[in-house]
Structure 1
Amino acid sequence: MTLSLYLPIDELNSHKPNPDLAADYLELTAFFSRKHQAFTKDLINASEIGAEDDYADVEDEFCNRDEIVSGALARILGRQQALGPSYPFNLDEGGDLLLFSEDELTLGQTAYLLCLILSHLKSVSAILNGSIVYPNANEIRQLRQYFQYFATAGLAAEVGGQAWSFGHPRPDHSGFLDKLEKIWGVLKDGTVDPDPASPSQPKDDQIDIFAWRSHRDGLPGFLLAGAQVATGDNWREKSIRSHLTDVFWKRWFGRQPVSQMVCYHIIPFARPDVDFRDDVLTLGNILHRLRLPYRVEQAVALKDSGVQIEAFDHLSAAKEWITNYRHRAYAETAAVSGLNG
């Protein structure tokens, strides 16, 4: 018995087709396959289910399915180019077979697979919903926490410097003000001194990560980034651009920093190229599935050089979880097959 994933064909046949969805279907099929592979025809076969009455004629049907396949392959090739060795799949020369890497996963590849799974929770996509490998509630919470840690490493590499995981719950279990004071004890630009009207029980005040790159003179005017990490379907509604510039400093600092904080939005999703400009316009700089894994690979070298990246030691646990999750698919598929046999 094979693992059954669902391809939402209506989203591929819409006026605005989603080739990323088809590419993700192939990747997930290869990821869960015992043979580490997915054939292009898997996508064609999946598109035939439930779509037999959606076409005006046979010619229209074949053209549409060819477009689904060609669109998926184009996105996969784009991912290979953007991510290099942090992309855990390879496409054969003929474009007929997608192969999942059989080697031990790197942290960048782990970040990609974590993004891929988070992109197909049922609030976002139907591909995994109802399958025997759909994560349970506790696993979903853990996956989102892991993503926070990978996002911290990715932002550290993005700015080329130290990063803190500030989002609640914090890995060191510190309180909001204690953590803020600790960070600014390093940055030394501004003074933490909450306004009397500021919230009395803040969790993270919408900022999940701080990262900076210092100058040797120790003076202000350095590269500083603040990021919101969003993994749910409402990620577009979580912009912190105006909050960073108009609210955060005034709430928590008596002497406000003069270094300008660059706004980042970090998400696990693959975004269409045509929509990306507007994403950046409304949300700030974005690290998404085609950027974050590459930055995570760079963070490994950054950490090895002595740069402090909070929660970096948790990334190996995420790699172990991803490996066990894939193997669990084998065991559960075999168990179901035995029951049916």
Structure 2
Amino acid sequence: MIQAVPSSSTRVVQADWVELHAVLRGSATESLFTDMALDADETRDDVVRDLDSDEPGSFEEEIVESELFRQQQTVYEELLHRTSSYGDAYPFSLVERETGWTLSWSGSSPDGSPNIAALGYVAALTIAGYRAGILSLHHVRPSESRIGNVMQALSVMAARELVGGECYSFGFPREDRTTMLDACAKLVSRMGTGKAHRERPAGAKPAAKDGTVDIVAWRRLGDRLSSAVVLYGQVASGYNWHAKGVQDLIDAEFFCWFQDPPRRRGYLPALFMPFACYQEVSEPASSTTLSFREEASGRVRNDSESLGVIIDRFRLVRLLWDGVGKGTVNPNTDSVWPLVEEWISDSWPGWTAA
């Protein structure tokens, strides 16, 4: 089920790989990398040991051991960042041992009930692992639409928490099975502001499904005069997320369906995805003084300029965790939650969060 992770993968993907093992087995250690290196090289004796030498080690062996140590160390640094940044919302615990480290699954609630935030994290991690090629889902054979629907469900709950209000899952196919015109009318009715066209406006695409907007979230501020905070978001479940900026086509594809859009200017653009928002960042070259974390921070800042607020897997689980604490994220009332539960059950047969 869990595949070998290429040594050329970024530290983020390698850390995701360790998390997958911790989900499956309950815990994972740095020895995963040593075991993988040995299993992958059937002729490792020729690679790591000079057979003509009487010395216990060789130059080649030292190189391999040095690379393994570097790999284990960078992954440890990444896991440490995750535990320190997201606290109790991060469903794993990291313990440093005298000879290495252990990452353990800690996503079950004290009373034994499912931890909704942790399950949401596993659902998103499963998508990320599948996309990276480190998790095989041949037993599920997931369709693109199913993967997208699962990520849409998680994003709806997170968007609602982000603005502290309501959310309409606008991405097609919609849960309420509405057409584009009906969805626009329903949206302005729920938001209490704006006006939708009654017929397809001239120039609007006849086959339009969602106008490139997957999520609309808003928060009223008590006076009922207008929706003071409005978020328009895109949901990405694949590696094409750089091309998913909601601002790119919203004027031409979405706002044209309204006589008076609920909010045309001053809205909050957002992108939701199951990956780390700095997943593509490689280790800094020896010629630079920048650290990995500085490089990652700069990359996310630049991407946010075009994509808006980026809600990756870690920010998503933090929002879900906060919502569970407030009672605003509830699997018994969230109609989209069964999509997430079924995804986890099918992807991890026999697995429980306890």
User: Residue 191 of structure 1: CA displacement?
Assistant: 1.2
Larger Cα Rg: Structure 1 or Structure 2? Answer: 2
Q: CA contact under 8 A between 2:188 and 2:262: conserved in structure 1? A: no
CA contact (8 A) 1:160 1:302 kept: no
- Structure 1 residue aligned with 2:206: 200
Normalised by the length of structure 2, the TM-score is: 0.78
2:3 match: 5
Q: Is the 8 A contact 2:213 2:254 kept in 1?
A: no
Q: Could you say if the C-alpha distance between residues 302 and 226 of structure 1 is closer, same or farther in structure 2, counting changes exceeding 3 Å? A: farther
Q: Summarize deviations over 1:173-212 as a string: whole Å, max 9, x none.
A: 1112112111101223321125311111211111111000
Secondary structure in 1 matching 2:4? coil
Structure 1 unmatched ranges of 5 or more: 12-17, 331-341
Whether the aligned pair in 1 keeps the contact of 2:229 and 2:267 (CA below 8 Å) is yes
Q: Which amino acid aligns with 2:219?
A: R
1:41-80 matches, cutoff 5 A: 41-50=31-40, 57-80=60-83
1:89 aligns with 2:89: no
Structure 2 distance, partners of 1:196, 1:113, is: 44
The 5 A counterparts of 1:238-253 are 238-244=244-250, 246-248=251-253, 250-253=255-258
Matches within 5 A, 1:1-341: 5-11=3-9, 18-33=10-25, 36-50=26-40, 57-94=60-97, 95-101=100-106, 103=108, 104-121=113-130, 124-129=131-136, 133-134=137-138, 136-138=140-142, 141-193=145-197, 194-220=200-226, 222-244=228-250, 246-248=251-253, 250-258=255-263, 260-272=266-278, 273-274=296-297, 275-301=299-325, 304=328, 312-316=334-338, 318-319=340-341, 321-323=343-345, 325-328=347-350
8 Å CA contact 2:204–2:257 kept in 1: the answer is yes
* Cα distance between partner residues in 1 of 2:14 and 2:67: 13
Distance 1:60 1:286, change over 3 A: same
Query: Residues 135 and 220 (structure 1 numbering): CA distance in 2 closer, same or farther, change over 3 Å?
Result: farther
Percent identity of equivalent pairs? 23
Q: 3-state DSSP class of the match of 1:60?
A: helix
1:147 partner SS: helix
- Provide, for residues 224-273 of structure 1, a one-character-per-residue CA deviation record: whole Å limited to 9, x for no partner: 001100101212122221323x3246411223445622110111001322
Q: Is the 8 A contact 1:114 1:143 kept in 2?
A: no
In structure 2, give the amino acid aligned to 1:32. Answer: L
CA 191–141 in structure 1, closer or farther in 2 if over 3 Å, else same:
closer
How far residue 59 of structure 1 moved from its aligned partner, in angstroms, is 3.0
Structure 1, 318-327 or 65-74: larger mean CA deviation: 318-327
The corresponding residue for 2:288 is: none
What is the CA–CA distance in structure 2 between the aligned matches of 1:128 and 1:182, rounded to whole Å? 39
Distance 1:220 1:228 in 2: 23
In structure 2, the CA distance between the partners of 1:250 and 1:175, relative to structure 1 (3 Å rule), is: closer
> What TM-score does the superposition give when structure 1 sets the normalisation length?
0.81
Q: Please say if residues 128 and 134 of structure 1, whose CA atoms lie closer than 8 Å, have aligned partners that are also in contact.
A: no
C-alpha separation between the residues in 2 aligned to 1:177 and 1:300? Answer: 34
Give the number of equivalent residue pairs.
311
2:248 partner SS: helix
The Cα of 1:159 is off from its aligned counterpart by: 0.6
In the alignment, the residues of structure 1 paired with residue 244 and residue 96 of structure 2 have an alpha-carbon distance, to the nearest angstrom, of 41
CA 1:76–1:135: 2 relative to 1, 3 Å: farther
SS at match of 2:8: helix
The structure with the greater share of residues assigned to helix is 1
Shift of 1:304: 4.1
C-alpha distance in 1, partners of 2:218/2:39? 50
1:60 and 1:268 map into 2 onto residues whose CA distance is: 35
Q: Aligned partners of 2:186 and 2:244: how far apart in 1?
A: 26
